[in-house]
């Protein structure tokens, strides 16, 4: 399975969604997101590698695909207090978690996935976690 990614395109000032690759042109390497739409394949060069994130292959309750570093809000989730947190990968458990260090939240995503909504992402809206 090829996992979709997103990255922030500085030229167009927006996130682009597609497939991540490294392009080599001469001796230079570029991080790139390749999109496939009605115009064919388009490549977007991503200058800030920290904005490149994989999809977690799950959608929020509104049907919007969730990506690592998204900020979500949940209400009435499996006995948890309502809250806000950021999606992070846990290498030890090999799964995505939702985290909010300020409020001491660290829960597997499956505990909140059915009751969550994306409200932003860490790149554009990190203030939501304050």
Q: So what's the pLDDT on residue 64?
A: 96
Q: 101 and 82 in one domain?
A: yes
Q: 73 and 110 in one domain?
A: yes
Give the pLDDT means over successive 10-residue stretches in the chain (130 positions): 90 93 89 87 91 96 96 87 92 93 88 93 84
- In the chain, how many domains are there? 2
Q: 61 and 78 in one domain?
A: yes
Q: So what's the pLDDT on residue 19?
A: 94
Q: 108 and 79 in one domain?
A: yes
CATH code: domain of residue 71: 2.30.30.290
Domain of 124?
54-129
Q: So what's the pLDDT on residue 71?
A: 96
**Residue at token pair 């458990």:** 93
Q: 124 and 65 in one domain?
A: yes
Q: So what's the pLDDT on residue 78?
A: 77
């Amino acid at each position: 399975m090829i996992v979709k990614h997103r990255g922030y395109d500085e030229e167009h000032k927006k996130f682009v969604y597609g497939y991540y690759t490294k392009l080599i042109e001469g001796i230079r390497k570029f991080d790139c997101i390749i999109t496939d739409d009605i115009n064919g394949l388009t490549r977007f060069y991503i200058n800030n590698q920290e904005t490149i994130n994989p999809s977690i292959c799950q959608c929020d309750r509104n049907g919007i695909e969730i990506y690592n570093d998204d900020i979500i809000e949940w209400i009435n989730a499996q006995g948890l207090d309502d809250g806000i947190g950021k999606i992070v990968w846990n290498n030890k458990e090999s799964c995505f978690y939702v985290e909010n260090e300020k409020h001491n939240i660290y829960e597997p995503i499956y505990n909140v996935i059915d009751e969550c909504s994306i409200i932003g992402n860490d790149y554009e809206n990190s203030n939501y976690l304050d």
